[in-house]
């Protein structure tokens, strides 16, 4: 009886390791891909802000030139 109980416990632990091992790998990949997408999104936003800033400067220069020429 005790032998069977220990065997059953070991089996359930192995099953849990299989289940959680697989799901952990998937979660790690999901987290990593999420972080990569987040970094890409942040860099894209930074680039957009930088270009907006440049366009804003050009627009301001154009406006000031128009102001002086009129």
Q: Is the dihedral of CA 11, 12, 17, 20 positive or negative?
A: positive
- pLDDT grade, residue 64 (50/70/90)? low
**CA–CA separation, 57 and 60 (whole Å):** 5
User: Mean pLDDT across the chain, nearest whole number?
Assistant: 72
Q: Which tens digit of pLDDT belongs to each residue from 6-37?
A: 677 677 767 766 766 666 677 778 888 888 88
Indicate if the pLDDT at residue 68 is higher than 80.
no
**CA–CA separation, 63 and 70 (whole Å):** 11
Which has more confidence, 8 or 1? 8
Residues 35-62, mean pLDDT to the nearest whole number: 78
């Amino acid at each position: 009886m005790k032998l069977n109980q220990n065997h059953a416990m070991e089996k359930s632990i192995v099953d849990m390791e299989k289940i959680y091992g697989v799901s952990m790998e998937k979660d790690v990949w999901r987290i990593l891909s999420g972080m990569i997408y987040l970094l890409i999104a942040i860099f894209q936003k930074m680039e957009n802000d930088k270009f907006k800033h440049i366009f804003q400067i050009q627009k301001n220069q154009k406006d000031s030139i128009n102001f002086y020429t009129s």
